[in-house]
């Protein structure tokens, strides 16, 4: 997937999670969101972007300095 496809899939997963009230599908969407966020971060890093500056998309791990 290229960056646009990853960002699109990530946004669709966020919308799906927001629309459902059932616990199991929300958990599955959460896993998908985290997976896509990791792939987006890796692709950005491979392209030379500064990935340590903070979250780019929901689901990315928060840098230690932001967690304080």
Mean pLDDT within 42-52: 84
Domain ranges of the chain: 3-67
CA 25 and chain centroid, separation: 17
Mean pLDDT of the chain: 84
Q: How far is CA 2 from CA 5, 29, 32, 65, in A?
A: 5, 20, 17, 30
Q: 31 and 25 in contact (C-beta within 8 Å)?
A: no
Q: How far is CA 38 from CA 9, 14, 22, 23, 45, in A?
A: 13, 15, 25, 23, 10
Residue 51 pLDDT > 80: no
Model confidence pTM above 0.85: no
Mean pLDDT within 18-31: 93
């Amino acid at each position: 997937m290229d960056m646009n496809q990853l960002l699109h899939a990530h946004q669709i997963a966020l919308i799906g999670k927001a629309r459902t009230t059932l616990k199991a599908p929300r958990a599955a969407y959460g896993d998908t969101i985290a997976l896509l966020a990791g792939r987006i971060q890796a692709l950005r890093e491979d392209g030379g972007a500064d990935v340590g500056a903070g979250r780019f998309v929901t689901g990315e791990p928060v840098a230690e300095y932001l967690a304080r």
